[in-house]
Structure 1
Amino acid sequence: MAMRAYRELSGDEKAVWDRFDVEFDFRPSMRRFPAITEPTPSVTWSLSGLDDDPGYVRLDRLVGFVHAGFTALAGEGSILCLDWQHPCYRVWPSLIGPENIDPPGQPGWPLSPYPDGDYFINLAEDFRFGTFGHPWEPSLCVFGSDLLGLVEADLHEVLGRAMRRDGRQVTV
């Protein structure tokens, strides 16, 4: 019997959110940025440059780089995909088809790292690496040395200069 690539969190969802709230000091707000205490190491990029991305080419590249990073780091294990105030998931990236190519019987990712109207959080089970997408800033914080080592250069190419590093504004 084939294992499903992801499943909706049920009873453990509240515990995951409670832990996230505490560990990242999550402060949801449409006006107060950042909405978390960005960990060290982390890099945060503005997503506003994607507003003029005809055909979503740069967005697709961003999503592909981040999902490839999660797939490499998770191995056969799972990660958590949290969508604020909506269903959340435990995902086994190794069971998902290649980015943008979902063969029959292989689903795509249930959530993107790009915050499409709500906070999207993707985390290692132990919270040591992940992403935090803020829909109203709009920004993407990537944290954890392992994930940054895999995606930082590619995200700089797609998104440009970072706006924050380790929670502090980057100066020119």
Structure 2
Amino acid sequence: MESPVVELVEAEYRRVWDRFYDEFMFQPSTSSLEWPAIKEPAASVTWSLAALDDDSDHERLDRLVDVVEQGLTSCLGSKATLLALDWQHTAYRFAPQSVGGPGQPAWPLSPYPDGDYYIYLSEGFRTGSFGHPWEGSLCLFGEEFLDATSTEAAKLLGRPIRRSGRAVGTV
């Protein structure tokens, strides 16, 4: 990759989204009866983003973004690339080690779903994040990624709402 962030061309955009729809059984919907919108992987944890509602200075949100970005960067190889998908909008391939630092381009998108589904995916679709704007949730998946992020995510967001796609009971 010549640039650390490249926009997916139309044919690749369609191929990536088709694969995502198939592998994750993606069913976009604003109806709570249809949530979650994906078949959450076996190694996944999903949190409500409601804990960020009173974060007026965005400190917890900024920390969450840092945790996700650092976790993805740390669990991928130094030459690995990620896909950044924004439902029905531009999608990108980027090198996480070459973005977000001083003098580097910013990460495309955010793990926080700001009006649309925001998705980070490893090239093999085994690791990433799925931000659901209408449920107000964030699903992180991939064992190594969860090992790197789940403790800090839980400190920021509280108790998960689902693990491996199954509702977490209340205590």
Does residue 78 of structure 1 match 2:81?
yes
**Segments ≥4 residues shifted beyond 3 Å:** none
**Distance of 1:28 and 1:97 partners within structure 2:** 29
1:96 to 94, 99, 105: 99
Q: Give the deviation of 1:69 after TM superposition.
A: 1.0
Q: Give the deviation of 1:16 after TM superposition.
A: 0.5
Can you list the C-alpha shifts for 1:109-147, whole angstroms capped at 9, x where unaligned?
Answer: 111000000000100000111100000001000011011
1:123 to 121, 124, 129: 121
Does residue 50 of structure 1 match 2:52?
yes
Q: Secondary structure at the match of 2:147?
A: helix
Q: Which amino acid aligns with 2:64?
A: L
**Distance of 1:133 and 1:141 partners within structure 2:** 6
**Distance of 1:29 and 1:97 partners within structure 2:** 31
Does the CA-based 8 Å contact 1:41-1:145 persist in structure 2? yes
1:151 to 149, 152, 157: 149
Q: Which amino acid aligns with 1:6?
A: V
**Distance of 1:91 and 1:29 partners within structure 2:** 28
Q: Which amino acid aligns with 1:35?
A: A
Counterpart in the other structure of 2:163:
165
Counterpart in the other structure of 2:4:
5
Give the gaps of 5 or more residues in structure 1: none
TM-score between both structures, scaled by the size of structure 2: 0.94
The number of residue pairs the alignment matches comes to 166
Counterpart in the other structure of 2:27:
27
Counterpart in the other structure of 2:62:
60
TM-score between both structures, scaled by the size of structure 1: 0.93
Q: Give the deviation of 1:50 after TM superposition.
A: 0.7
**Distance of 2:75 and 2:144 partners within structure 1:** 8
Percent identity, aligned pairs only, is: 52
